[in-house]
Structure 1
Amino acid sequence: MDNYEYMEESTIPVDFICKLCKKPFIDPVILPSPCEQTFCLKCIQTNLENHSNNCSECNKKPLSNNDLKSENPILRKMLDKLLVKCCSCSEENIQRSNFSEHIQQQCPKRIVDCSANDILCPWNGHYDELNEHFNHCPYEKLRTVLIKLINDARRIDELNQLQIDFQSLENKYQEQQNRIQQIENENEILNNQINEMKKFEIENKNLNEQLNKLENFEIENKSLNEKIDEHINEINELKSKNQLIQDQCDQYEINNNDIEIELKILNESLQLTNIVIENFQAKIKFFQENLNQLNLTQINNQTLNELYQQQQIQNDSFDKQNQYLQETIVIYEQELEHLQEYFIADQITYNNNQLVELIDKCQTGELVNLNGQKINDHDIDIVINKALFNKQCQSLILWNNCLTSYSISRLFSFLNMNITLKKLSISNNHLSDESIKSLSESLSFKNVTLKELVLSSNEITDQGLIYLSDMLKTNETLIVLGLQDNNITDKAIQYLCQVIQSDNKTIEEITLYSNKLITDTSIDYIFNMITNNQSLKTFWIWNCHLSKQGKHKLQQSIQWKSDFDLRL
């Protein structure tokens, strides 16, 4: 609602007054026929929602937002000229249309920030108090120092990023080394295969020589077959002649010596011819066997040639890939060497004797308070070694420092080995949801000593609270959880309430105040959590976006719990 009141409101014509809010029209709209009445836009929209889209004045035909038409410009101009009084500075006779300009630019009571808010001055107040504050502002007086500190913090963030990049390059380098080893093994296998292929080549050469011999044998065999055919023809002719002679001999039985001699010669010739035929048949059989062996050798030779060609193609591909990986590794090694030189040079010069002396002054097994000590990522190992291991502190406070996700991850990794720390407070640092995830995993099962955890003013979002809620499902040690002044909304609050209501029986105190994104949407979930959980005794949720009705309902949730501390 605007922070003004009308001048001489009683003199404003009744035609300018809305029948619903009893005030002069704001954004006037006119209803369609038959109603044709004028109302404020917000008033009639609320009215339609509460009366099932029927006008409460005439209750006639149903209406919607599309039926609302703007009143004529003349009426709007007359309404804008109404005179109002600023409730902040009491200035009078301001035209209503100019009030926004007044409250934003002219009103001496308007809220403004300090000019040193760029260096984190938290002051804001009335405009007429700005000069007085500026004259005494400690941030403005320390502007040069604060700017240097901010620049130093930015450089630390850059160094942290370089460290992350350095780790990433180390991982990539290791992957490449593993890949090189794999390729070397593959190359060794390929070299063995190449040696075998060379053996195949020698065998193939021998087979080719045998093939050439077999081809010569084929030529000789063909020539012999032709000669055999000629001799067979001659033998057949001789057989025919012999048979004819035999017939003649049988018929005449002539004891002619010449004929007997001739017959004897013919018989000898016939026997010699049979011997020649048998020799030729043996040679033909031998040539046929060699021919079959030659065909088998040709098939094996063709298969070996195909395998050799495939192996040559694959070997060429591996050579190209190996050459590319070698070049990539050289580039990574150069970048890694550069980052190592930069990072080691920065680490060698770092020391924080003041922090070491401060922790050494603390008593063993008691509180170690490091509030506002400007602890950064370089200091976290000192805190872990000195405070957690040497001093075995039970309570560790790290408010208002420069811790980042890296520091928190380092700290949380040591919680797994902790046997003494019972209270940990890390407020107003630079935590991320991934840091909260690491913490939640550390506290889910392994840690059995930490009882109080405060994470206020760390810009934790819904995802971070969901990680913490999942941790509370299994953690049976934590009894105090502080999450005030973060960026938590209704979605994560509802999930937390369901976990506390159903799965956790040890938590006793939860603080969520100054989370201004929490609204009445979460009221029912909070009510059921408080009503049904038997261990919860303290719940603070003031300075959130809760209505009076919502707060009243939460008050009813503790009417049967006499010792419950609920602060709204």
Structure 2
Amino acid sequence: MYFVISLSYVKTRTKDTRNNKSKEHILCLDEMLSSRKLALVIGNNSYEVGKKLNCCLNDALDIGNVLEKFDFQVTVGVDLPYVKMVQKVLQFQRQVQKNDLLLIFYSGHGAQWEDQHYLIGIDNKCLSDDFEMYPHYAISIQSTLESMMKRQPCTIILLLDCCRNNLNLEDQVSNTKNVSQENVTDVNLTSMKSIPNTLIVFACGSNEVTLENSKNARNSLFTYHLLKHIIEPNLNVEEVMSRVCHGIYEDTNGQSCSYRLSSLRTSNVFFHTSSKDMPLYVPLPSCHENKKLEEEIEKCNFQSIVDLDHWNLTDNDMEIVVAQAIIKKQCRRLYLQNNNITSYGALRIAVALENNITLNTLNLNNNHLSDVGVRYLAEKISSSQSILQYLDLGSNEITDLGVQHIIEIIKRTRTLTFLGLACNDIGNQGMQLLINVILQENSQIEELCVNGNRLIDDLCVDPIVQMLKSNRSLRRFRIHNCNLSKKFKRKLRRAIRWKFFLSVHA
């Protein structure tokens, strides 16, 4: 397991007119206002070959949560096969502009082969069969760094929390307590080639394999201490990493500590300098528990309905919902409306839906998914054999950007008959996207709800009329409480007066 941090700083000089002395001011990350902050976070747990990992998804989600509090625009991917990982990296790389601040976090299996370090997707069987496949079916860390630098970002933070065991030596290696030096030759984490103004932090030293243990039954040991210290104000990066190293050393009784390789030109680089406006994140002391929730789900019948409306559920509760309702009970209908679920809770649900063949109803109305949460759902639902028939995403702060992801669900989920998007922030552009996909794909949707989107106005009426006239599957269309004039509402009603099977609520 190892972390790589690449940080740059900005210097400005101010003139002291009284004593003619120049003062050098080192800007911390919070003061680099001219730079965008972009983050890519990936966590892989479910590998085809080798031991399944337990903490990687939690590590990725928790790091992403902290980064959002530092004003990063966070993109998350979980349990990605090799091709999906490459696509995610390339997608992220194309967003990079000159002087951007980048952060990449990866948690999962990694390996060293012929002095190169690789990140491994969950479809790793070919790598265990043939070592020489690494350059062709795993992501080179060094090449990724060099490729990112070509986009001329001002800063790169690359955090790599890699595998506890090497897949190729799984039969020989279980943990550092019983591994001989000759057995770990192929998995030692040698120093990567340095890039100017970088700080490279490995979670263990050379010729060591990190232990898969956890202090809080949730995060890896390195991530636990990183989460603990990264939120402390007025610590430069070296101080943060020193505290992380000390924490690991203490918790392993001197058996392990992190290793750093620095090419920073200054020690005055900070994550943040004040906690005044920074909502602190504290690692969970133990696995999240909600006994009442577990008991409620346990009462439900197998492959039936799980109704958790108005349960005041949070993202942490989604771990229980996924494990108990979706996986154990294999529920067919899941009602999660009127709770406090954000994009991270949506991600946990999305991962569970990727290979789900029982859930046909999902109600997430009146939560806080946002466009990011919708994207997570769309990525997993669109890539699976979903049988979803009913999807309600009303009142979730979705904009036209989120609709771009929703149309992928419409295209790829041929069973979807109800789509609820009421009371969001969707405008004419988003409505036009929905109209286009329904017309072009001859969608099977029978009921579409876009009511309460006040940004939809008369400019959309003609395209809506065309959709209502042309589409044969739509049975009910709700567009009331939008910003349509009475004149255009009458036009809508006249347009469908001969369609006796179609009901329009305008």
Q: TM-score with structure 2 length normalisation?
A: 0.49
More strand, by proportion: 2
| Higher relative contact order, structure no. (Cα contacts within 8 Å, ≥ 6 residues apart) | 2
More helix, by proportion: 1
